[in-house]
Structure 1
Amino acid sequence: MIGRVIDVRSTTIRVALEVGARGFTKVGPDGLQTVGVVNSYITVPAGAHRVVGIVTAVYISGRQESKDRVELLSQDDTAAYELEATVVGRFEGDTFKSGLTGYPPLHAPVQAAAPLQVKNIFHPKGGPTLRIGTSAVATEQSVYLDANLLLGHHCAVVGSTGSGKSCTVTAIIDGLLDHAIPNGHIVIFDINGEYAQSFPASRGRGKKTRPLILGPRPGTSSGLFLPHWFMNNEEHLTLFRASEGVQAPVLQRSIADARVAGASTNTELLRLQNVLSSVAIIEGAFSNTRTGSDTSFAQLVGLQTLVDGQVSQTSACSAQWTQIKRILDVGIPQAGVQNVEWTPLTAPQRDVLARMFVKIRSHIQAALGILGMGSAHAAPDFDAPVYYSLQDLCDIFLPNRIQLEQSADNKIAGYVATLQMRLSRLLADGRYDFITRVEKHSDPLGSYLKALMGVDPTGGKSDSEWPAADAYRAQVATHGSGPSVTIFDLSLVANDVLENVTALLGRVLFDFAVRSDPRAEHPLLLVLEEAHRFIPSQRELSGSGSRSAAVFERIAKEGRKFGLSLLLASQRPSELSETVVAQCGTVIAHRLTHEADQSLLRHATALSSRALLDQLPSLAQQHALVTGVSTGVPVAVRVRDVDDPPKSDDPDFMSTWGDAEKLPGLADHIDQVVKDWQGDAPSN
């Protein structure tokens, strides 16, 4: 016994230490024990169980003696030694369980937790465990986390720059690799290009896994590409910044039109659009008071030729083409338009042509409906990941849809002009070619998901159409039989499109998990480095939030039941979405000095853990506080050492600056960086 309870509160107990324990060590049945050290553990009887507390503070308070006693006493004799502990759970027999069923009475005897009890606290029973490190107080005692609870309830690793976050993420992966998990799947979003070096093929972690590095230079040759046709409706609207009033509906129908054409032959569609274009040109000549007859004559001759050729072919819209031919055969002679320069169309000619065009447009609308592109017909699924050409969307389908909608509102073209400009600018920007100019290939979505999940996207075929087949084959030559680790090196992705990329990747993985049957058949761990970049807390002035944040908030709330787990790493947790932080069942907190970051964790963690978070500003490198469902109690831990850590070490400025031999190579270094930076850009 080291003392007795003198104060009991809802989350804390206060203990008066005995004389023999004041030296902060005591000899007992289990040998010499440390007493009253912050982060050590105590036990107190409470009915049939023993309450477990973690020491959070130690005090020395003076003791008042009666005035009539005049004795020469030492400071130790006149001082009372006390400690305060946060209650974290209970022992039922030898089994530790979180939560309380009762509180200890006053004067209850207090004991330091024996080594066997500490071991039972740090080594969860009932399932596979993950060794995260050793106790910061009992350095000989390893600390384990419940692997299923860690993965099933998400995990956040937070801490200031240089505190050891990336190594902790790697330590968690190493802890998972301590088990035989050949069907494991890990996807890492690496924004700083740190993790590629952690999975060398010739070293331990690389031999235990099947790593695939995609990037860093965006493009099909490196495997870092993301076809634009994978985007759903919301992602299209976000990337093109289409306003809700007019631009969004027009863009939606244009993309639906393009998907239909992309999924089948678009020859007939192009001819229908040609007819509409010729009609528009002739109608434009109606208001020309100086000329018009020659232009209209040429267009009518061309129309007649095009329609006659189409009628002779079998097509889905044969009946409509036949009707259009009959209209032209009757209407053109009645109009009597001559090939005469500088002659305007007469009123009777305009009247005949106008009535003819009304009938032609009605049949074109019917034909577009048959092809699935009519305004009055249901469009295909806006979210279906079906191929379409973004260039054709810009050049053909969007202008055609604008022309069709002009009949209802002649201001449509003006409303959509900025959208057309943004789309053209996006296509002209080579930084986005890895999204906007991915060529059509067989089974694009299936191949992409197979690559992410560690399955051969080429199907073992030497003539595979998968764009990154060569990069894949080069990396898998040394693969063993361990879990797949797919690393997206996003370090060179343009910042203004990074959110769109991560949102799309996250949503594709989530949709795959949701659609999998049976549910959670192939669980996946998604690691987000610098997660505050993907899941920001800020909201736009309109009240809408980040598209990427919305995706990962949904994964945080619903991903567990579908087998999709998040492992977040961030140096600024206060800039993370509070929704996501609150959904993380386990928090591993390294040194944090900013009050806002500490405050967020206090609100996001269990009540019993909050007193421990006062230690955050003073934690040493590689040390952390672990709280949550995967650990029996909040624990101060020294994270295990890792080989081949991520490339996140602080640079050695003074050593590098003092190396005179590096200076002559600076010019070549700059030239190489500039060459890689400019890529294939032409030089002046």
Structure 2
Amino acid sequence: MSDVGVIGRVTSVQSTTLRVALDVGAKGFTKVGPDGLHTVGVVNSYVTVPAGAHRVVAIVTGVYISRQVERPGRGAFVSEDDQSAYELEAAVVGRFEGETFRSGLTGYPPLHAPVRSATPREVKSIFLPRDVPSLRIGTSAVAAEQDVYLDANLLLGHHCAVVGSTGSGKSCTVIGILDGLLDRPIPNGHIVIFDINGEYAQAFAPGTARGEATRTVVLGPHLGAREGLFLPHWFMNNEESLALFRASEGVQAPVLQRSIADARAVSASTQPDVTRLQAIQSAMSVVEQLYGDGKNSESPTDRQLGAMREVASDRARLVGPCQDQWAAMLTLIDQARTDAALSTGTAWSLLTAAQKTVISELFVQMRSLISQAFGALGIGSAEIAPDFDAPVFYDLQQLCDFFLPNRVKIEQAHDYKVASYVATLQMRLSRLLADGRYDFMTRVEEHADPLGSYLRLLMGVDPTRGEGDSDWPAAETYSMQTMLHGDGPSVTIFDLSLVASDVLENVTSLLGRIIFEFAVRSDPRAEHPMLLVLEEAHRFIPSRRDPSTTGSRSTAVFERVAKEGRKFGLSLLLASQRPSELSETVVAQCGTVIAHRLTHEADQNLLRHATALSSRALLDQLPGLAQQHALVTGVSTGVPVAVRIRDIADPPKSNDPKFIQTWSDEARLDNLPAHIDSVVTTWQGAS
């Protein structure tokens, strides 16, 4: 083989590491080859070595200089340069089969094999995937003229993690990836962003290139159905409901489950019956309180019984599941009024003992009929609804005021202590309903096709179906935003920056589960793939190593997405400044890792365990990477590569504050009181 372009010889082969003795001196680390002048021995550059029928490709990870032993007979005057030997170390990352680059190894080079610098043509072949859709992530840190591309299908199909310390450029890298996708015509693309810091709305604002190229909807940061960021509580499944209400497993959880099953069983057609049965119960309670009235009880009792009769008479005329019970109640009320012979014209008269006996016997029979009526409506039965997790509307206030107390009364027949066990649960539920921070979940009004509307919103489809009179809660907000954006892929941004921290996990786990279940239930499978972007992912998917950590439900949801989402067309793009706090399961499932500067040893160690063996030596560079520079490893790139991330316009709102410049502006002092007032007004209003 010709020695043209040879820069050295292999002196050691260990697993995936090669050591090479260079044929250059300190006078210049350059070598003339058939493609021109090559820089020799630069960290992160590439070399090729023949290995049987193929050529092995390796990335330089270290360069060394050592003193040579002076050989006898040489002149007395030998320079320091002439006594030095130069070596490099390289990690094997793939091979050339002819002119085509392939990842992985099929053989090793022998000792003394000639080593060449990869030519510009070879480098381009490495960085530009052939015959597959690709996106440009940036340029090579070693050869600035060489663009670096990632295989788009492998990037999305195997999940991606962008990690790095704060200020290293993670958010801009995420936008760079999205820009790379937007460079392609993808009108059926679907991107959902969980934005915990409120950064991404600026990047997709109307008037920006991304805003014009996408159908972007921003939900938040203000919470509430009319503002756009809302999540109906009835979307929650069994586990999520128990977690939100913090129901203990012993007694509270079963009682709450059956109460919610009762509440879900009330449909629009049966709601009038339920409401009127509640009214009958309230009227009976009022009459029983009149027993102790020492001044006037007979006339008010007659009025209450008359009202009860009117309600029963109205419902008994209508065909329904509990019509028989209403008819029986009407008969009982008429008979009791006759037997009690209540006086209607006498003021300030008291009930007699005989009248109280008649009314009490009436109420015993009425309560039995009411129980039968609830059973006919599917409420109060001993069995839980056949599909408890079905996202069917129920009123949370009604659950608190009626269904939960009613279920407690039923269960007390078996255990008289149930009421005391459930008292704290009832108190928590009442407090939750009284806290305005949670209105965006607990006070969402019933509307037509709530789940379908929400899924259409997530997928960039008009949730109102184009109907001007739609009762979808955020119809006006949606209409205003869609007027300002163009065509192209859909981008739905959940600005979660104002969501209370103690309910954030409930929100993210519920949203993640809805998206995943939609993907799983879609037929045919992966008909409409979706990219889910999680900013500050360690907040959504914390590690489970600490048993006391929060986020177990959210972690479970996204671990399942990481393990199973690919086959259903659901991809994760994670961004985190603390990868060591992320679930190891999720990090291990990320086929591509883009690592910016990381200084914490635990973060570096996690990546070493999660990346390919040949890439681990490169990770020693992480503490010293400059801003906008990153190491890219994984299935979407042919080789591990040091990249300068592409420049982006209209970046996310994540730039560092200019302290000194701001502190030096004396004029800002005049605006400080108004600024404080504005924050306080919004703060108190949101609370």
Q: Which residue matches 1:24?
A: 29
Aligned counterparts of 1:236 and 1:45: Cα–Cα separation in 2 = 62
Please tell me whether residue 402 in structure 1 is matched to residue 408 in structure 2. Answer: yes
Contact 1:229–1:385 (CA<8 Å) still a contact in 2? yes
Deviation sequence 1:628-677 (CA, Å, 0-9, x none): 11000110000000000011111111111112222222222222222222
Give the 5 Å matches for 1:397-546: 397-538=403-544, 541=547, 546=552
Q: Which residue of 1 aligns with 2:635?
A: 629
CA contact (8 A) 1:13 1:86 kept: yes
Listed one character per residue, the Cα deviations across residues 166-193 of structure 1 (whole Å, up to 9, x for unaligned) are: 1000100110011011111111111111
Residue in 1 that maps onto 2:381: 375
Q: Contact 2:263 / 2:379 at 8 angstroms: preserved in 1?
A: no
Match of 2:270 in 1: 265
3-state SS, counterpart of residue 79 of structure 2: coil
Deviation of residue 317 (structure 1)? 1.8
Alpha-carbon separation, structure 2, partners of 1:202 and 1:545: 37
- 1:639 pairs with 2:645: yes
User: 1:430 deviation in Å?
Assistant: 0.9
Residues 1:62 and 2:33 are matched in the alignment: no
Cα distance in 2, alignment partners of residues 158 and 440 from structure 1 = 41
Percent identity reads 69
| C-alpha displacement of 1:383 | 1.3
Q: How many residues align?
A: 677
Secondary structure at the residue paired with 1:393?
helix
State the Cα deviation string for residues 485-525 of structure 1 (Å, max 9, x = none).
Answer: 11111111212111111111111111111111111111111
Aligned-partner Cα distance in 2 for 1:281–1:217: 42
Moved more, 61-70 or 567-576: 61-70
Aligned with 1:104 (options 92, 109, 122): 109
- For residues 285 and 100 of structure 1, do their structure 2 counterparts lie closer, same or farther at Cα, with a shift above 3 Å needed? farther
Check the 8 A contact 2:380/2:407 in 1, yes or no: no
Contact 2:270-2:377 at 8 Å conserved across structures:
no
The separation in 2 between residues aligned to 1:478 and 1:489, in whole angstroms, is 18
Conservation of the 8 A alpha-carbon contact between 1:260 and 1:380? no
What is the identity, as a one-letter code, of the residue corresponding to 2:43?
V
Alignment of 1:100-179 (within 5 A): 100-179=105-184
Contact 2:290-2:301 at 8 Å conserved across structures: no
> Aligned partners of 1:570 and 1:114: how far apart in 2?
36
Q: For residues 264 and 248 of structure 1, what CA distance do their matches in structure 2 show? A: 28
**What is the rounded CA distance, in whole Å, between the counterparts of 2:290 and 2:418 in structure 1?**
21
- Cα distance change on mapping 1:543 and 1:296 into 2, 3 Å: farther
1:619 paired to 2:628: no
| One-letter amino acid of the structure 2 residue matched with residue 511 of structure 1 | E
Q: Deviation digits for residues 305-359 of structure 1, max 9, x if unmatched?
A: 755654444321233445566777889999999999698799x969x978x8787
1:34–1:159: structure 2 CA closer, same or farther, 3 Å change rule? same
Distance in 2, Cα, partners of 1:568 & 1:680: 29
| Cross-structure match for 1:237 | 242
Q: SS at 1:679's partner residue?
A: helix
Partners of 1:131 and 1:363 lie apart in 2 by: 72
The amino acid that maps onto 1:254 is S
Opposite residue 560 of structure 1, the aligned amino acid is: R
Q: Which moved more, 1:321-330 or 1:19-28?
A: 321-330
1:473, distance to aligned residue in structure 2 (A): 1.5
Out of 572, 579, 589, the residue aligned to residue 566 of structure 1 is 572
* Amino acid in the other structure paired with 1:493: V
Distance 1:646 1:50, change over 3 A: same
Mapped to 2, the partners of 1:513 and 1:160 lie a distance apart of 33
Counterpart in 1 of 2:3?
none
Deviation by residue 1:184-238 (Cα, 9 ceiling, x = unmatched):
1111111111111112322222111111111111122321111111111111111
Query: Aligned AA for 1:487?
Result: I
Q: 2:677 aligns with which of 661, 671, 674?
A: 671
CA drift at 1:120: 0.7
8 Å Cα contact 1:369/1:376 also seen in 2: no
Change (3 A) 1:462 1:353: closer
Residue 151 of structure 2 aligns with an amino acid whose one-letter code is D
Distance 1:315 1:540 in 2: 54
Match of 2:185 among 180, 183, 195: 180
Q: 1:300 to 1:668 in 2, by over 3 A?
A: closer
Could you tell me how far 1:571 is from its partner in structure 2?
0.7
Matches of 1:637 and 1:400 in 2, distance apart?
64
Residue 620 of structure 1 aligns with an amino acid whose one-letter code is A
Q: Does 1:648 align with 2:666?
A: no
Shift, 1:275, TM fit: 5.6
Equivalent position SS for 1:485: strand
Q: Distance in 2 between matches of 1:260 and 1:125?
A: 57
Residues 306-345 of structure 1 mapped to structure 2, 5 A cutoff: 307=312, 310-322=315-327
Distance 1:539 1:234 in 2: 21
Q: CA deviation at 1:474?
A: 1.4
Answer yes or no: is the 8 Å Cα contact 1:372–1:380 preserved in 2: no
Are the equivalent residues in 2 in contact too, given 1:320–1:363 (CA < 8 A)? Answer: yes
* Offset at residue 301 of structure 1 (A): 7.9
Name the aligned partner's letter for residue 81 of structure 1.
Answer: Y
1:461 is paired with a residue of what secondary structure?
coil
Q: TM-score, normalised by structure 2?
A: 0.91
**Alignment partners' CA distance in 1, 2:305 and 2:514:** 49
- Do the aligned residues in 2 keep the contact of 1:55 with 1:86 (CA within 8 Å)? yes
Q: In the aligned structure 1, how far is the partner of 2:274 from the partner of 2:545?
A: 42
Q: Work out whether 1:393 is the aligned partner of 2:423.
A: no
Contact kept, 8 Å, 2:193 with 2:534, in 1: the verdict is: yes
Per-residue deviation at 1:679?
2.3
Bigger mean CA offset, 71-80 vs 249-258: 71-80
User: Using the alignment, how far apart are the partners of 1:10 and 1:598 within structure 2?
Assistant: 22
